Amino acid sequence: MSVLITNESVDFNALKGILGATDGNLASHVKYLEKLEYIRVSKQLINKKPNTKYSISNKGKIAFKKHIDALEKLINAS
């Protein structure tokens, strides 16, 4: 989510490289995030090759901010 919060959109291969994830692992994570409506998925053809891009939704931004706020509270409590 931190990659998507700082970029307008990121394609599957770039996201895979940034995260060091396998195809299957990344696919299962983005599928779950899409189900929660935290990300938007757009698919298109570029030079006759499929290209999938991901972007964060408003719901995803709110959830990410809540997560960061909770982590900060944990850090500050110790």
Three-state SS across 44-76?
A: EEECCEEEEEEEECHHHHHHHHHHHHHHHHHHH
**pLDDT one-digit tens code per residue, 1-42:** 999 999 999 999 999 999 999 999 999 999 999 999 999 999
CATH number at residue 45: 1.10.10.10
Q: Please tell me the distance from the alpha carbon of residue 57 to that of residue 34, in angstroms, as a whole number.
A: 9
> For 45-67, what is each residue's pLDDT tens digit?
989 999 999 999 999 999 999 99
Structural domain including 32 reads 2-77
Q: Given this model, what pLDDT does residue 11 score?
A: 96
> For position 78, what pLDDT does the model report?
72
How many structural domains does the chain have? Answer: 1
